[in-house]
């Protein structure tokens, strides 16, 4: 039985992306096991089950994953927060997810983030194998998430796809999103392609729609047969002048997250090991 034929565990199901994915993936015929620390705010899709649970609850996470062929991991802290708030859900919780995947021979789609590489400058065109340059404790947790996926692939053969999501919102809101925007529909198509792919291995996909101004280049999208169908470019006239005016925000790919608590007198060098 393939990953797409078995139930799919979706964490973070009560968030904006989780709710959308629950609706769209159920409509495509996937059997969903939904979980979040918050109650599910919508009517449950046909055939779906929901359990309120904390990612830190290892026993419950393993129980929910029993019999699942794949885990779509969208749970955890999803914005820039202090370290102590990120620690348990984004680090310990992810360990529980990967242990559950190992026990069930399930594959994992990890909702990583552009904030794992946010301190690369916007002038750089990045491929999937670029260095991590996290811009926040949140971004650091996403780099950790990709690395734990590498560990579980090398040591246990757990297949995983790390989707470095740019800006996944219903609409393009500012000039930065001309490079980073990911439509809801393209994300749903990506998750469906991941579930149906014969093999995934350990892979990275840039989570952005077909944006000519993208900061990002090569990735493993061909491995799952995904090509984005939407583009931010149709909103260029409306948003091209919507910039922050903050030189730190505008210099780096991570945008606002780079500027939060920023205390350097001058920008760091492109080579992270170079002297200022």
Q: Where are the domains of the chain?
A: 8-259
| Residue 41 scores a pLDDT above 90 | yes
- Quote the pLDDT of residue 74: 98
- Return d(Cα 258, Cα 45) in angstroms, integer: 38
Look at domain 8-259 and name its CATH class.
alpha beta
Whether 1 has a pLDDT exceeding 70, the answer reads: no
138 is catalytic: yes
Residue range 135-147, pLDDT digits in tens:
999 999 999 999 9
Name the β-bridge partners of 70.
8, 107
pLDDT at 51: 98
The model carries a pTM of: 0.96
Mean pLDDT of 187-208: 98
For residues 181-206, give the mean pLDDT. Answer: 98
The pLDDT value recorded for residue 65 is 98
pLDDT surpasses 80 at 2: no
Q: Span 37-65, mean pLDDT?
A: 96
Task: Tell me the pLDDT of the chain averaged across its residues.
Answer: 96
Element at 50 (helix H, strand E): strand 49-52
All residues at 6 or more sequence positions from 248 whose CB lies less than 8 Å from its CB, including other chains? 258, 259, 262, 267
Who has greater pLDDT, 8 or 4? 8
Tell me: pLDDT of 124 over 70: yes
Q: Is the pLDDT assigned to residue 4 strictly greater than 80?
A: no
- Region 235-242: what's the mean pLDDT? 98
Which tens digits make up the pLDDT trace of 84-118? 999 999 999 999 999 999 999 999 999 999 999 99
Q: Of the residues 95, 128, 138, 262, which is catalytic?
A: 138
Angle at 8 between CA 2 and CA 205, to 5 degrees: 80
Of the candidates 65, 14, 69, the residue with the CA atom closest to the CA atom of residue 42: 14
For 24-38, 74-88, 100-114, 179-193, which range has the lowest pLDDT when averaged over its residues?
74-88
Above pLDDT 90, what percent of the chain?
Answer: 92
Q: Looking at the DSSP assignment, which residues form a beta bridge with residue 34?
A: 10, 50
Compare 9 and 276 and report the one with higher pLDDT: 9
Alpha-carbon distance of 250 to 242, in angstroms, equals 11
């Amino acid at each position: 039985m393939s990953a797409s034929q078995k139930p799919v565990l979706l964490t973070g199901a009560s968030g904006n992306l989780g709710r959308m994915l629950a609706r769209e993936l159920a409509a495509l015929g996937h059997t969903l096991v939904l979980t979040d620390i918050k109650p599910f705010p919508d009517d449950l899709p046909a055939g779906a089950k929901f359990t309120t649970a904390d990612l830190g609850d290892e026993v419950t996470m393993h129980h929910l994953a029993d019999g699942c062929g794949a885990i779509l991991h969208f749970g955890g802290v999803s914005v820039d927060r202090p370290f102590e708030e990120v620690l348990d859900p984004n680090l310990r919780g992810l360990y529980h997810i990967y242990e559950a995947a190992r026990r069930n021979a399930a594959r994992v789609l990890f909702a990583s983030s552009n904030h794992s590489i946010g301190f690369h400058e916007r002038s750089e065109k990045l491929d999937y194998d670029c260095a991590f340059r996290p811009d926040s404790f949140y971004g650091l947790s996403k780099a950790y998430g990709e690395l734990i996926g590498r560990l579980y692939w090398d040591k246990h053969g757990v297949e995983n796809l790390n989707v470095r999501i740019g800006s996944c919102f219903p609409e393009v809101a500012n000039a930065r999103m001309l490079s980073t925007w990911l439509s809801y529909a393209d994300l749903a198509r990506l998750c469906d392609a991941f579930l149906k792919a014969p093999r995934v291995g350990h892979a990275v996909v840039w989570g952005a729609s077909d944006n000519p101004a993208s900061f990002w280049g090569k990735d493993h999208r061909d491995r799952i047969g995904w090509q984005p169908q939407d583009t931010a470019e149709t909103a260029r006239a409306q948003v091209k002048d919507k910039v922050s005016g903050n030189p730190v925000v505008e210099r780096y790919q991570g945008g606002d997250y780079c500027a939060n608590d920023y205390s350097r007198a001058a920008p760091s060098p492109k080579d992270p090991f170079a002297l200022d």
